[in-house]
Structure 1
Amino acid sequence: MATNTSLYKMNHTMLRVKDPKRSVEYYQNNFGMKLIRKLDFEESKFSLYFLAFDSPGAESAGRQWTDREGILELTHNHGTENDENYKVNTGNVEPHRGFGHICISVDHLEKACEKLESNNVPFQKRPSDGHMKHIAFVLDPDGYWIEIVGQKQSDSASASTNLDVYHFSHTMLRVKDVEKSMQFYRSVLGMSLLRTCELPEARFNVYFLGYAREGEERDYRGEENPLLDREGVVELTWNYGTEKEEGFKYHNGNEQPQGFGHLCISVDDLDAACARFEDLNINWKKRLTDGKMKNVAFILDPDNYWIEVIQNESIKSRVSW
């Protein structure tokens, strides 16, 4: 059986956390995410917490976790919560920049930020800071950046924010050579370029990619953001000139110091998808046959970021997660 990339999903983004209780409560209380799955690997001494928006109106509400987009996986290595010296790499401090942020879209930017402020959530950037008034950045318990963008604005003083309509919009990664990265995400992973934002004055561009949906405009370049009400998007940020710097590389989050772990796609047929990757001569981190876990594979993108590949269990049953 051949694999069909149109059935792939940008399933989740993995971040390592120090204290899972604190982190899970943070995402639940401040953004309304729900813990939809927990996997414990006692022998290997780590646990995985899968959080997603799951209200009745959420994009993937009620679906089996491998059949979703917009999941946040928090990985806890047992004992870190009691280690005074444990600290993650957020990806935004030199010389370990790479992963940038996750982004949550909200119904009303100012009201959402007011709620976060009242919950004593620390801000990296408020809407009133700098020139970009349409975004904010807050910090999670480990210092990871979370971009906040508004789906719509309201002039009503009585307007409030509704957590039930929030979305896990995208994950941002910095890339060295945008042509190589675009070739990988489009031709290898089968994603479509959904939106481009060119910012020559600031000397960087951003490219939004995902698995295209019926009727969705491709490579949108207008001022409005058409992707705020959908999930499963990857934002690639390219700073001009990095592709020409010999020896330049971004930190992939898995070398020390660790933080961001990987993106994950779920596929229609895991064996067929991996056979296709093999034919494309991609770089492997882990083949299905490597190690004890025979139901996951990891491939590497041009910047050495890890991409996990798993079976969409709603299409073809393979393992009981």
Structure 2
Amino acid sequence: MVRIIPMASSIRPSLSSLKFSGSSSRCAVSLYSFNSSRRLVSFNLASAVPQTQLFGLKASRLLRGNGCSVPMAGAGNVAQGSTAATPENVLEWVKQDKRRFLHVVYRVGDLDRTIKFYTECLGMKLLRKRDIPEERYTNAFLGYGPEDSHFVIELTYNYGVDKYDIGTAFGHFGIAVEDVAKAVELIKAKGGKVTREPGPVKGGSTVIAFIEDPDGYKFELLERWPTPEPLCQVMLRVGDLDRSINFYEKAFGLELLRKRDNPEYKYTIAMLGYGPEDKNAVLELTYNYGVTEYDKGNAYAQLAIGTDDVYKTAEAIKLVGGKITREPGPLPGINTKITACLDPDGWKTVFVDNVDFLKELE
């Protein structure tokens, strides 16, 4: 098992993230802003993030919804409306909430090097970049389309940190391409590392290949075209697949699109998303037989998901046993409402208010 490297206090979280230290040391937290001209505010995590106790309700005690939708409260009374809702209706509301994957956040050791690789080898566009010298970090957003309609990557470079521990829990990102063989030829020509040559997936017909970026993050290239969402997968490993599926369906409103067991290689995968796999980014969960714990390292950070109501979102997460690490509410200084949580395996997700997110992009 690879040792988890503790996060130093100088390592800052990135846009839309609140990074928590596992140690007792205090660390500053950088609040995100999508407009570099806006003032960024920092506050101390120890005093800003209250400790939250889980409801501890078992899934068997959660009654199924009656099919009625719960009207969304206005901005002025959203907290009151959420408090008045019953657990059954909160979980039913999750299914109707307008959600999508916004971006995935992770850390790299050389931002310019990574941007060059992603744009030249993977065909991404640099959407925006911002430097926060007072917090000693830089963010870059890359993807295949605008942030208001596409799933994108958010890279974070922390001043003076050139290497991170990816760990054993993170799997890979998925990118759909028109021709896997041609994509691999280009990557090789640019000096990229190919770890799995193009060919049909084991037990199937889809042509795939695996590559690594300069920091060691793995990317699976899938021959699937045309597609409106080329950045199509985030794969994470979990210790109990059925537990994770239950959590993501109920708390996140994700749909189980498919599940496949591969006893020959002793693993099972599940694809979950907010729409069909060929048109939307999906979360791929992998369970390896007999493995219940993994080392998460300190490289991968979190997913960000849009929601119409961060307050009801937090209630639903608590009801199914998730841990809230940032209580729902507006961020000081920019007023974007968010909430953050951990799933049963400790994977972090930040939910961002849909209306506030679009305002940040203006």
Sort the TM-score into its range (normalised by shorter chain).
0.7 to 0.9
- Preserved contact between residue 174 and residue 237 of structure 1 (Cα < 8 Å): yes
Residue deviations 1:165-209 (CA, integer Å, cap 9, x gap): 770110100000011101111110000011222211111111110
- Preserved contact between residue 45 and residue 78 of structure 1 (Cα < 8 Å): yes
Residue deviations 1:67-117 (CA, integer Å, cap 9, x gap): 33421111111233xxxxx32223xxxxx3101110111011112212222
Residue deviations 1:129-148 (CA, integer Å, cap 9, x gap): 99678221111010111111
C-alpha RMSD of the superposition: 2.9
Q: Kindly tell me: are residues 316 and 37 of structure 1, through their superposed partners in 2, closer, same or farther at Cα, counting changes over 3 Å? A: closer
Verify: 1:73 aligned to 2:115, yes or no: no
Partner of 1:251: 295
- Preserved contact between residue 137 and residue 158 of structure 2 (Cα < 8 Å): yes
Partner of 2:163: 87
Partner of 2:140, secondary structure, is strand
Partner of 1:263: 303
Of all paired residues, the percent bearing the same amino acid is 29
Partner of 1:219: none
- Preserved contact between residue 9 and residue 69 of structure 1 (Cα < 8 Å): no
User: Structure 2, unaligned stretches of length 5 or more?
Assistant: 1-72, 74-81, 83-92
Equivalent of 2:288 in 231, 239, 244: 239
Verify: 1:31 aligned to 2:122, yes or no: yes
Partner of 1:189: 252
Within 2, Cα distance between the matches of 1:41 and 1:102? 27
Equivalent of 1:286 in 326, 329, 354: 326
Q: Kindly tell me: are residues 141 and 129 of structure 1, through their superposed partners in 2, closer, same or farther at Cα, counting changes over 3 Å? A: farther
Within 1, Cα distance between the matches of 2:234 and 2:249? 16
Partner of 1:224: none
Residue deviations 1:20-73 (CA, integer Å, cap 9, x gap): 11111111111221122334433322222111102xxxxxxx4xx2x3342111
Partner of 2:355, secondary structure, is coil
Within 2, Cα distance between the matches of 1:302 and 1:291? 26
User: Structure 1, unaligned stretches of length 5 or more?
Assistant: 55-61, 81-85, 91-95, 153-161, 217-226, 243-247
Verify: 1:98 aligned to 2:169, yes or no: yes
Partner of 1:241, secondary structure, is coil
Q: Kindly tell me: are residues 68 and 278 of structure 1, through their superposed partners in 2, closer, same or farther at Cα, counting changes over 3 Å? A: farther
- Preserved contact between residue 11 and residue 232 of structure 1 (Cα < 8 Å): no
Within 2, Cα distance between the matches of 1:237 and 1:201? 15
Partner of 1:108: 179
AA matched with 1:231: N
AA matched with 2:346: N
Partner of 2:165, secondary structure, is coil
- Preserved contact between residue 268 and residue 316 of structure 1 (Cα < 8 Å): no
Q: TM-score, normalised by structure 1?
A: 0.74
Partner of 1:223: none
Within 1, Cα distance between the matches of 2:202 and 2:309? 46
Verify: 1:175 aligned to 2:238, yes or no: yes
Q: TM-score, normalised by structure 2?
A: 0.66
Partner of 2:222: 149
Within 2, Cα distance between the matches of 1:129 and 1:268? 40
Verify: 1:51 aligned to 2:139, yes or no: no
Verify: 1:274 aligned to 2:314, yes or no: yes
